[in-house]
Amino acid sequence: MFVVRLAFVLLACAVGCAPVAHFNLTGGWSGTFSYTSGPMTSLTSSFSMDLFDDEGSITGSATFPSSAMQSFEIPITLGESHADTVVLEASGFNDKTTPPTPVRFSFDGEATATTMSGVGTHTVNGTPYTFTWQATLVAPPPPVEYEP
């Protein structure tokens, strides 16, 4: 009986303590974010990201809407994924404004191989505005080709 209990405890620990697989987030992503604070509360906008995931270290770029139906692109300056979580930050200047405006988008959330979602902050000229966000993989990376 002791052996059966010990085997059950070891099995439960092995299943419950097993590491969660890391999802490679490389590819083109399309999403929306909805402001939850500030003068644009409830406004929903689209964005896109081109990400390169090197074993949890993420680089790339993000494109956001600007005024007059234009968009601007800024680099991913911080990117990490661990198991099923993701943290991204894109910062730079909105070059579609005069003068160019410093902006930072921070994303914190959960990820699968084809979806991401969570909460974030959009900082403009030092003023933060919160939002919720979701994104879907729309351009998976090309398959890796192996030579014989």
Q: Are 2 and 10 in contact (CB under 8 A)?
A: no
Q: What span, in angstroms and rounded, lies between the C-alpha atoms of 146 and 148?
A: 6
Q: 3-state secondary structure string, 101-124?
A: EEEEEEEEEEECCCEEEEEEEEEE
Residue 8 has pLDDT above 70, yes or no: no
In this predicted structure, what is the pLDDT of residue 69?
Answer: 86
Q: Which residues pair with 44 in a beta bridge?
A: 34
Residue ranges of alpha helices (H) inside the chain are 2-17
Whether the predicted pLDDT of 21 surpasses 70: no
What pLDDT is attached to residue 67?
84
CB of 130 closer than 8 Å to CB of 37: yes
Over residues 115-137, the mean pLDDT reads 96
For residue 76 the two structure tokens come to 């991913």
Asked whether residue 12 carries a pLDDT value surpassing 60, the answer given is no
Q: How many CB atoms lie within 10 A of CB 115?
A: 15
Cα distance between residue 46 and residue 138, in whole Å:
14
Round to whole Å and give the CA distance between 133 and 108.
9
Residues in CB range of 28: below 8 A, 6 or more apart: 48, 49, 50, 51, 137, 138, 139
81-93 pLDDT, tens per residue?
Answer: 998 999 999 999 9
Q: What is the pLDDT of residues 111-121, one digit of tens each?
A: 999 999 999 99
Q: Which of 1-5, 57-61, 66-70 has the lowest mean pLDDT?
A: 1-5
Chosen CATH of 20-139 out of 1.10.220, 1.10.3470, 2.40.128, 1.10.150: 2.40.128
Is residue 146 over pLDDT 80? no
